Structure 1
Amino acid sequence: MSLTPESHTSADSTPEFVVQFSPQSFSLQPVLGGLSNHNYRLQFQQHGLNNSYFVRLFSATYSDMSKHADHEYAAQIQAASIGLAPNIIVQHSQGMICDWIIGKHWDQVDQVRDENIAKIAQLVATLHQQPKPSHHLDMSERLQHYYQTLNSEFKTTALEQQLALTINLIEQHLPANRMGFCHHDMNPLNFIENEQTKLYLLDWEFAAAGHCDFDIATLFQTFAWQGSQRTLFLSYYNHYHPAAKVTFEQLDVMAVVVEMMTLLWCIVMYQQDKDGIYLTLWQQSERAVADKINLLNKELTWDQ
């Protein structure tokens, strides 16, 4: 590929850390996927070789969403050290440059293949058994932070009641022995399989010490796995993480927490950007929260 000076964005719009890393001629092409940051493929020729890197620029709302670059870098470096994440090459307050993984995201057919569910289960079980990062995600605190960020017009009585119920679930109905190294954003776009069929996990911006059931409930939600696929995942996960002994009952509790987190995040993002995609996600999540709470009401014996 021949890269010319005209193929990259202007010096005014390209972050300085990308310009400094690259030779004079490079291209910076947008990568589809991801809602809260800006992802690019950086390419250039150097010493007769074609080089490709992944560049992520932090959005204007990055710090507003209680994210910290130092926490993200530390988590991804730890995960990369055991082969679960791409290596970080450049760390900067505006973003990062990482190895480019040549591979593919799984489509909906691939996502439900038994062998791929097994691979995800092994990766997740491995992650959860690593030393916990120093940064901890307090789910109740994060939910309350999102809620307090909302404009008064969005703080409905129903939303306030759902939030109170969710915090009660966190404090009273989650197993206490499930703390570990969590990714906190496990969706299909954040998994990539390279040409040697090795699976990697991307986007570590929410990673922290946390409740490991959050990752599993997120997987079940975002991959839209049904009963047999969820059963298969849990059998593999509990095999690779024998001390976990995860049950569907505890995941039904966490499913409400995950959906409530999703709902509040969507409202916050819509409030900031007024983007229709966030409104659609908000409406979908609003229905899903109600459905999951109704399901749980049939299962739980609530504390009086």
Structure 2
Amino acid sequence: MLQQILDDWPHWQLCSEAPTLDNISPLPGGLTNHCYLLRLPEGDYVLRVEGRNSRALDINRAAELQIHHLVAAQGLTPTIRFRSPGGHYWIRDYVPGTPLTNPQLDLPLLLIMAQQLQQLHQLYPPAEIPKLSISEKAGHYWDTITAHFAVMDRMTAAAEELLALRGPLQSLLSGAPDNQRCLCHMDPTAPNWIQTAENKLVLLDWEYAAIGHPLWDLAALLQGVDLSADDEQTLLQAYGLKHYRGWEFAKTQMSYLAALWYRAQGLWSDRELIAYLNGLKALAE
């Protein structure tokens, strides 16, 4: 597959001679796509090969590309230099740096990240960018989980207990904190940020981006981060929020989507998901 991609090099208009497999090396991370560092005499790039689970994870690749171009034009993410006609890979500028981890996310760093999200939220997206519905996205993940059970051709007690949570949670966690809508990344968790040697922060991986609620991005930013209630309030104030109605609801909604995503990807067991969803259900009731 990689050699076939490299054979496309005349179409890239990025190099004057054919690259070889020696010019590429895997990059760490990525649970959906496969990324490689592409070293050419003309510069370094990232070759991203799309995963085969885009449909299962309800990823709109056309919208992702459109959003990426929009955000890159504002200097908020690296520029895409080539996308294959079939859409299964693209090449973008390489940003040297280190992916962030949750233990690094102290309040000063989170304030900078929230400020960059605010810049994103102020952009005017094209009218055709899809609007995110929490219940629809969650429903797609539920369908993927249910399909796993169908392949097994039997329902375990845990599977039945898990699926019984779908109706109540879909009802409790549908909608949005209020009527605000803007362009959102929807997955600004630590691994999707690169910190450069100059301490610049660059947000990557726009495959879940959509029109959403700004609190969803802030809630996703804080997932897995040990932040006190006072520091959370400081972050929200720095973002410019004048009230905090809907904040706890937004956090629960994003935790709900993340948990279903982990199970749809096969990263959590049924029992792990049941315990977690029961906790969310208690918070939402």
Work out whether the TM-score is over 0.5: yes
Aligned position for 1:198: 200
SS at 1:279's partner residue? coil
How many angstroms does 1:216 deviate by?
A: 1.6
CA contact (8 A) 2:57 2:140 kept: no
Q: CA offset at residue 120 of structure 1? A: 0.7
Q: Distance in 2 between matches of 1:30 and 1:115?
A: 32
Amino acid aligned to 1:256:
T
Who is 1:279 aligned against? 268
Distance in 1, Cα, partners of 2:278 & 2:243: 24
How far apart, CA to CA, are the structure 1 residues paired with 2:160 and 2:249? 22
Pairing 1:101–2:91 present: no
Aligned length: 268
Shift of 1:18: 5.6
Question: Matched residues in 2 for 1:228 and 1:34: separation?
Answer: 33
- Structure 1: how far apart are the matches of 2:251 and 2:191? 20
Q: How many Å apart are 1:157 and its aligned residue?
A: 4.8
* Kept in 1: contact 2:7–2:18 (CA 8 A): no
Give matches, 1:130-169, under 5 Å: 130-133=123-126, 134-149=129-144, 150-151=146-147, 152=149, 153=155, 156-169=159-172
Q: Which SS does the other structure have where 1:98 is aligned?
A: strand
Structure 1: where are the runs of 5+ without partners? Answer: 1-8, 239-243, 271-277, 298-304
Is the contact made by 2:177 and 2:250 (CA closer than 8 Å) also made in structure 1? no
The offset of 1:221, in angstroms, is 1.2
Matches within 5 A, 1:255-274: 255-270=251-266
1:252 is matched with: 248
Q: Is the 8 A contact 1:259 1:289 kept in 2?
A: no
Identity %: 23
CA contact (8 A) 1:193 1:199 kept: yes
**Superposition deviation, residue 202 in structure 1:** 0.2
Structure 2 residue identity aligned to 1:54? V
Asked whether the 8 Å contact 2:9–2:18 carries over to 1, the reply is: no
8 Å contact 2:173–2:284 — kept in the other structure? no
Residue 16 to residue 213, structure 1, CA distance change in 2 (3 Å): farther
1:273 counterpart residue number: none
Q: Mapping of 1:284-299 within 5 angstroms? A: 284-297=272-285
- How is 1:206-217 mapped onto 2 (pairs within 5 angstroms)? 206-217=208-219
| Structure 1 residue aligned with 2:152 | none
Partner in structure 2 of residue 28 of structure 1: 24
> How far apart in 1 are the matches of 2:273 and 2:254?
10
Whole-angstrom distance in 1 between the partners of 2:231 and 2:99: 19
Task: Give the SS at the match of 1:245.
Answer: coil
User: What's the counterpart of residue 39 of structure 2?
Assistant: 43
Structure 2 Cα separation of the partners of residues 221 and 10 of structure 1: 35
Q: CA RMSD of the aligned region, Å? A: 2.6
Partner in structure 2 of residue 74 of structure 1: 66
Aligned amino acid, residue 106 of structure 1: L
Greater shift, 225-234 or 114-123, is seen at: 225-234
Secondary structure of the corresponding residue to residue 65 of structure 1: coil
Partner SS for 1:85: coil
In 2, distance between residues paired with 1:28 and 1:293? 46
Distance 2:62 2:201 in 1: 25
Structure 2 distance, partners of 1:158, 1:24, is: 55
The DSSP-based 3-state class of the residue aligned with 1:63 is coil
The CA deviation at 1:38 is 0.5
Give the C-alpha shift of residue 35 in structure 1: 0.8
The C-alpha deviation readout for 1:143-188, integer Å capped at 9, x for no partner, is 112212323437845434533333323446x332221101111111
Compared CA separation, residues 145 and 295, structure 1 to 2 (3 A): closer
TM-score by length of 1: 0.78
